């Protein structure tokens, strides 16, 4: 199959005007400004279209999609987490399972409609979500969430066993692990999970340096997260308090690395940025969720300047208005008009692929890579200098979507 469009945006090479792309089986065979010589295939001409690699949402929680629009407040993370726990405790097991299935289906649908072909999905209920996701069409790195601190530290082994279950691995699903966060997993738990991941070659994602309260908790054992653990009846005096910041803590334990994706990284200093860069650790920035919780300005320029691989996530629908990475890019463009539009497109494509360990297969349009394509339609009545300008104007709509060469939309 050959597609032709006014713009093809490979991401890792300059945009091609009036270009051609040939898909063979599940892969990209050719792309360029001319059709392949001597080809017998007919060319499908897409008027006013931009062909991009499928967008990559490096950090989300599909199973929380039922919380869309539920909470304007609170904006404080400990309070938010307590609400999630309380909500889940109100439900029977059957109700929770039903809600989870519907939430995942809704999340998948919203992602595909937005041109997202790959997600890094954190899943606490991964024994329920992986069977739903294993056959696609969405490509998913399913980070099984592991939690266990204080009086619940004994749950780590059980949770790890469930989270590390690779039986649903498929062409669409890769099993990963997620030690949840420094206020929900202790030093031994973090080590256990990440050592297991390294032994079995599983990618890792963890929530890190997300709030000032998290830093306070690690440094002093006090504050809102201590109160949250007490409210939940989990706190005990044996919880080790490292007395240092989250990035330094993980680095000291030898747990940062190219196989470890940090979700958020909202509060980092220059030395920590150097640690992230030196260890090849990627960071997923969630612009609209960041705004929802009214954090201090994100250290984007510092992270990019420090050479850290920054990618984009939405986080869940409980804190983000949609699962659209294009909308995150548009938000980022509005906040940072000084950033080159082409760089913003990289954050939502190739950088996400690198963060998820999939850069050999996806994230850009190159011969030999998998044909995951998001094709957007330009508006009828406006002209743009570049395809990146058009996409970030907010006026393009998804036209077609391909995953592994198969048309999904």
> What is the number of the residue whose Cβ is closest to Zn ion?
315
Mention every residue, 6+ apart, whose C-beta is less than 8 A from residue 116.
54, 55, 56, 57, 138, 323, 324, 325, 374
Answer yes or no: are the C-beta atoms of 401 and 407 closer than 8 Å.
yes
The residue among 49 and 263 lying less far from Zn ion, judged by its C-beta, is 263
Q: Which residues of 184-196 are buried (b: 16+ CB within 10 A; e: fewer)?
A: bbbbebbebbbeb
Strands 139-146 and 27-32: unpaired
Residue 130 or 290: which CB sits closer to Zn ion?
A: 290
* Between 28 and 208, CB nearer to Zn ion: 208
Q: How many CA atoms lie within 13 A of 361 on its CB side?
A: 16
Q: Closest Cα to residue 391, out of 332, 351, 350, 335? A: 332
- Closest approach of Zn ion to the CB of residue 263, in Å: 5
Min CB(360)–Zn ion separation in Å: 26
CB of 120 to Zn ion, least distance (A): 10
Minimal distance, residue 369 CB to Zn ion, in Å: 28
CB of 232 to Zn ion, least distance (A): 19
Residues 261-280 that bind Zn ion (CB under 5 A): none
By beta-carbon proximity to Zn ion, the closer residue of 59 and 224 is 59
Torsional sign, CA 149, 152, 157, 162 = negative
Residue closer to Zn ion (CB basis): 214 or 315:
315
Q: What SS3 class is residue 210?
A: coil
* Cβ nearer to Zn ion, comparing 70 with 236: 70
- We find the least distance from the C-beta atom of residue 61 to Zn ion, in angstroms, to be 6
Binding to Zn ion in span 305-334, by CB under 5 A: 315
Which secondary structure element, helix H or strand E, spans residue 285, and what is its range?
Answer: strand 282-285
Q: What is the DSSP letter of 143?
A: E
Instruction: Please report which helix (H) or strand (E) contains residue 176, including its range.
Output: strand 173-179
Kindly identify the residues of this chain, within the stretch 30-49, that bind Zn ion according to CB under 5 A: none
Residues in the site for Zn ion, rule: CB under 5 A? 315
């Amino acid at each position: 199959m050959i597609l032709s469009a006014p713009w093809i945006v490979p991401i890792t090479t300059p945009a091609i005007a009036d270009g051609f792309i040939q898909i063979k089986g599940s892969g990209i065979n050719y792309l360029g400004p001319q059709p392949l010589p001597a080809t017998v295939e007919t060319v499908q001409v897409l008027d006013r279209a931009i062909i991009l690699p499928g967008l990559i949402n490096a950090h989300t929680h599909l199973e929380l999609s039922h919380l869309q629009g539920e909470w304007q407040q609170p904006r404080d993370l400990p309070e938010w987490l307590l609400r999630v726990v309380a909500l889940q405790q109100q439900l029977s097991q059957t109700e929770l399972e039903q809600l989870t299935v519907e939430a995942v289906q809704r999340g998948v649908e919203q992602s595909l409609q937005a041109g997202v072909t790959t997600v890094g999905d954190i899943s606490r209920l991964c024994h329920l979500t992986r069977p739903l996701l294993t056959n696609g069409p969405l490509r998913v790195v399913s980070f099984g969430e592991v939690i266990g601190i204080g009086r619940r530290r004994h749950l780590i082994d059980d949770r790890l066993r469930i989270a590390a279950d690779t039986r649903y691995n498929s062409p669409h699903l890769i099993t990963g692990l997620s030690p949840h966060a420094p206020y929900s997993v202790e030093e031994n738990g973090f080590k256990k999970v990440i050592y297991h991941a390294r032994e079995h070659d599983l990618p890792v994602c963890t929530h890190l340096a997300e709030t000032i309260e998290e830093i306070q908790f690690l440094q002093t054992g006090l504050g809102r997260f201590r109160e949250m653990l007490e409210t939940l009846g989990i706190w005990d005096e044996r919880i080790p308090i490292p007395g240092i910041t989250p990035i330094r803590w993980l680095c000291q334990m030898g747990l940062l690395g190219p196989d470890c994706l940090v979700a958020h990284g909202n509060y980092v200093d220059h030395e920590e940025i150097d640690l992230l860069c030196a260890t090849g650790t990627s960071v997923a920035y969630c612009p609209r969720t960041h705004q929802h919780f009214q954090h201090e300005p994100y250290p984007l320029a510092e992270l990019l300047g420090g050479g850290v691989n920054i990618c984009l996530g939405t986080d869940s629908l409980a804190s983000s208005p949609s699962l659209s990475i294009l909308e995150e890019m548009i938000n980022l463009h509005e906040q940072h008009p000084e950033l080159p539009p082409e760089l913003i497109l990289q954050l939502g494509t190739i950088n996400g692929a690198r963060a998820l360990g999939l850069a050999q297969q996806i994230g850009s349009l190159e011969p030999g890579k998998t044909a995951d394509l998001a094709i957007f339609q330009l508006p009828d009545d406006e002209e743009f200098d570049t395809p990146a300008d058009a996409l970030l104007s907010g006026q393009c709509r998804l036209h077609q979507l391909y995953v592994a060469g198969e048309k999904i939309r």
